[in-house]
Amino acid sequence: MAQEHLRDQLNYPFAAFVGNDLARKALKVAASSADIHSVLICGPKGTGKSVLARSMEDIAEGRKVVNLPLNSSEDQIFGGMSVEETLRKGRRVLSNNVLLRADGNILFVDDVNLLPDYVLNQVLNAAENGFHVVEREGISETYDCRFLFVATMDPEEGGISDHLLDRFDICVFLSTLEDEELRMTLCERCLSFQKDPEGFILSFAEETGRMRDEVTEARARARFTRVPEGYCAAISEVCNQLNVAGHRGDISVMNAACTLAALDGKDLANLDHLKDAAAMCLEHRRNNPPEQQQQPDQQPSEDPPDDREDEEPEEQQNDQQQDDQDRPPEEPDDQQEQRPPEEGDAEVPPPVDPDGMQEQVFDIGDVYKVVDYMPKENATLNQGVSGRRSGANIRDSAGKVIGYRIPKGKVSDIALCASIRASAPSQIYRDHSELAIVLKREDLREKVREKRQGNSILFLVDGSGSIGAQKRMVAVKGAILSMLKDAYQKRDRIGMAVFRMNTAEEVLPLTKSILKAYNVLQDIPTGGRTPLIHGLLKGYDILKGVDGKDSRPVMVILSDGRCNVAYTSGQKPVDEMLSTARSLSKTGIRFIVIDTEAGRMQFGLALELCRALDGTYLRLENLNAEYIECSVKYAIEG
């Protein structure tokens, strides 16, 4: 037992780590530079991310690794009012906290993607600024907290927003070792450490001391190293080629290149330093898919007149489709019964059979500010993922304090200021021989906390031929991109599925990357029939795995509702669609139907679908907040 306890207290030596040389070099850079404030280590489970991060104590002389637990409250991380000291001294006293303990050390958090966004943002602010300002519970205080922030995450367990990812100066990716000799060496070293941790650490003491000396010398030299003038232009060019947003990438590359030169004992960075620095600082900031970045710029292969000639038949075809769409079908379809709608009919047939339509890919329309289309929902949850879309009162000690209340039962999260104020009128009658302020049970108040909860939004897009009429898909894509940007700003996860022809497919798994969504949206084709039932079931399959406690599942359906493909042979498509919708309305998924129907003849099937889903209904043109504002202003002013 004593041996196991000792092993838990000792860190695996930094010098004994096998493979992933770039990651080890990145941590040496971070330990050697006063301008590198944060490092993110990504990789699949079991690759030694946490082991490597904790072993930084070996090379960072005089600095210790301070852990930041994921379940810590804001008061525990950033500081709040100390209950004991405040009651003893009779004045507000700032509590000890994680950032204070991290001052001059290394702050480490495992699985940083599970940390709430607003907490991670404040920690990154403190790491960059070197101080933190506390403004809560009557305390207004600033304290120093200069630390190196090191975090790990497994991308398979969820990511973090692009904004927060960009704030990490360095991001490195660990990979599973495939070389048999390296794997064998790793296993042998791990077994040796488990059996005799002290002896194993001693066997690497000389190499560890050498690395520590290198870091100490580089830290003193790094402030004097420089990047040659020509390299600054090269850094900017690389960042532009990778479509890096902002300028944090450029600055981080220059700081890392200077530190790499200092580690090599040089006063000027060279090309090799620049390449390594770019690999450390730009990989997580690049906004172009790797396959696009490796291709040279493509020149148009056709002349403008040819493009115009190609477009003319397409426009004529769309006009013909719209003409056909505006009048009832003349002949029944081979598979489904097609006839003009009569009173009492449950099924209204779609007005056009687009089976023979040529597949087209339309451009993305104008982007605009969207209205708040998400339905409000009051909820009290035990926990929730951090987001900006909606708030929920929670019962644990996480989340932002929004007020206080008289407790019912056991008090788990005391609101000290409110409790002291409640006791103020009675203090004159109480015994203060031991305490400056005396609180009793009837004085106690508890905090009310709120955690912003994100949504998992699946955009279910109608890619059938009826949406291509009059290039309606251009407006639909513009609306989708507008909603995607709105979802990104509110920290929601977004996914996309398309139904067309005779099936539905997921084209974008749930993600927080709007760039991935944009690339997928750009290439969505239009043409064929409308298998809306297939789309509903595919959307349900995708969202049923979303945990309602961590994220709210929302399905946004963009369609005219003209289902003309049955899921079950022999069933009428519209009847089956409405029946399926009524069943899905009980699954806990929130549905929003965006009606894309246009033209002189409209059947209102999207509205019927929305009623069956018990969802929220909007017409496509009502999504544009600026359009609605102008319409209201026009109506008011006459």
pLDDT above 80: residue 340 = no
pLDDT at 395: 56
Per residue in 583-633, pLDDT (tens digit) is: 999 998 999 898 888 777 788 999 999 999 999 898 887 777 665 556 555
CA dihedral 277, 283, 289, 291 (to 10 degrees): 50
Q: How far apart are CA 517 and CA 485, in angstroms?
A: 10
pLDDT digits (tens, 9 = 90+) for 222-279: 989 999 888 888 899 899 888 888 899 999 999 999 999 999 999 999 999 999 999 9
Query: Across the strands, what pairs with 552?
Result: 455
Helix (H, G, I), strand (E, B) or coil at 380: strand
Average predicted confidence (pLDDT) for the chain: 79
Q: Is the pLDDT of residue 209 over 70?
A: yes
What span, in angstroms and rounded, lies between the C-alpha atoms of 22 and 28?
10
Which CB contacts under 8 angstroms, 24+ apart, belong to 408-416? 411/444, 411/446, 412/446, 413/446, 413/447, 413/449, 414/83, 414/444, 414/445, 414/446, 414/447, 415/445, 415/446, 415/447, 416/81, 416/83, 416/86, 416/137
105-149 confidence digits (pLDDT tens): 999 999 998 888 889 999 999 999 999 999 876 788 999 999 999
Burial of 135 (C-beta count, 10 Å sphere; 0-12/13-18/19+): exposed
Q: Judge whether residue 425 has pLDDT over 80.
A: no
Rounded to whole angstroms, how far apart are CA atoms 86 and 80? 11
Q: Are 27 and 33 contacting, i.e. CB atoms less than 8 angstroms apart?
A: no
Q: Are 523 and 426 in contact (CB under 8 A)?
A: no
H/E segment holding residue 237: helix 229-241
Please write the tens of the pLDDT for every residue from 468-491: 655 677 777 777 777 777 776 666
Please determine, for residue 353, whether its predicted confidence score (pLDDT) is greater than 60.
Answer: no
Q: Could you tell me what percent of the chain has a pLDDT over 70?
A: 76
Q: How many Å apart are CA 242 and CA 449, to the nearest integer?
A: 41
Amino acid at 420: I
Q: Which domains does the chain have, with CATH numbers?
A: 2-224 (3.40.50.300), 354-377+455-633 (3.40.50.410), 380-452 (no CATH)
Among 46, 40, 50, CA closest to 12: 50
pLDDT for the residue 124: 96
Q: What is the DSSP string of 93-157?
A: -BPP-HHHHHTTSEEEESSGGGS-HHHHHHHHHHHHHSEEEEEETTEEEEEE---EEEEEE-GGG
User: Is the predicted pLDDT of residue 310 greater than 80, yes or no?
Assistant: no
Contact criterion met (CB below 8 Å) for 586 and 597: no
Is the predicted pLDDT of residue 290 greater than 70, yes or no?
A: no
Segment 78-83 shows an average pLDDT of 82
Task: Report the range of poorest mean pLDDT among 128-142, 328-342, 451-465.
Answer: 328-342
Lowest-pLDDT range, 126-135, 372-381, 519-528? 372-381
pTM of the entire predicted model: 0.61
Helix (H, G, I), strand (E, B) or coil at 33: coil
Q: In the predicted model, is pLDDT for residue 409 greater than 70? A: yes
pLDDT at residue number 55:
94
Give the mean model confidence (pLDDT) for residues 175-193.
92
